Structure 1
Amino acid sequence: MSGDTYHFGDSVNMHGGRGNIGMIKNQAAPASAEAPSPELEAAVRELVALVRELRASVPAASARAIDDSLPDITADPAAPPQERHRALMAVAGIAATVGAVGQPVIEAVNRILELVG
């Protein structure tokens, strides 16, 4: 494989010219994650409180599923959206199985889904 050239990164070739001052990269530091909206934080706190109450009304396997989902239900904008969505849908599904007792949880999940888009 002699003669193959592999190059990674910047390469600058200058042939003659005047006033060459170097390379301008125009790169900025990554934007810091924006703070979660107060409305989303309040909705998540409300959902967590409702889910903790719901936990007493479901079978042990469903309670474990709720426990597994809670860490992914967060107001952090940097949280992986697919994990948050999966956790919210899991909690809503469990809440749907207990009827009227789960209705406030379903409404809270829908509110969060609207807020995160």
Structure 2
Amino acid sequence: MSGNSYYYGDNVNIHGGRGHQGIVKTQIGAGTDPSLSPAVVAAIAELHRMIQDLRTQVPAHSVQLIDESVPALTADAGVPAQERHRALMAVAGIAATVGAVGQPVAQAVQAIMGMLGG
């Protein structure tokens, strides 16, 4: 059976290129926090897309802070609510510093915070 390939889970092959950002997980899996509504899960997924655009518009030190915040911006049950809130606030703060370019991200964060009740 040589030549057969079996993949379970993620499989990523990158050949060449520059500026690879990694995998943005936006699917809902078994580890999704059951306390989050489908609307919140969808809003978080959209926020990830918007964050990728924002990263190209901010200075390197802000990109680093965004990258440090992204792991907490998931619908995973293992992310404490306080950590998710802190990450949302960090991204909103960065978005606010770049004016009109960051406004959609800031509004998305505000909507998510509203859905989360805080």
TM-score for the superposition, normalised by structure 2: 0.67
CA distance in 2, matches of 1:106, 1:115: 14
**Structure 2: which 5+ residue stretches go unaligned?**
1-32
Task: Please provide the CA RMSD for this pair.
Answer: 1.4
* 1:26-75 deviations in Å (ceiling 9; x for gaps): xxxxxxx6263210111001111011100000000000100000000122
**Structure 1: which 5+ residue stretches go unaligned?**
1-32
Aligned pairs, number: 85
1:95 equivalenced with 2:78 (yes/no): no
The aligned counterpart of 2:47 is 47
CA distance in 2, matches of 1:37, 1:95: 25
Runs of 4+ in 1 over 3 A off after TM superposition: none
Counterpart code for 2:82: Q
SS in 2 for 1:74: coil
CA distance in 2, matches of 1:91, 1:84: 11
CA distance in 2, matches of 1:35, 1:83: 15
Q: Is the radius of gyration larger for structure 1 or structure 2?
A: 1
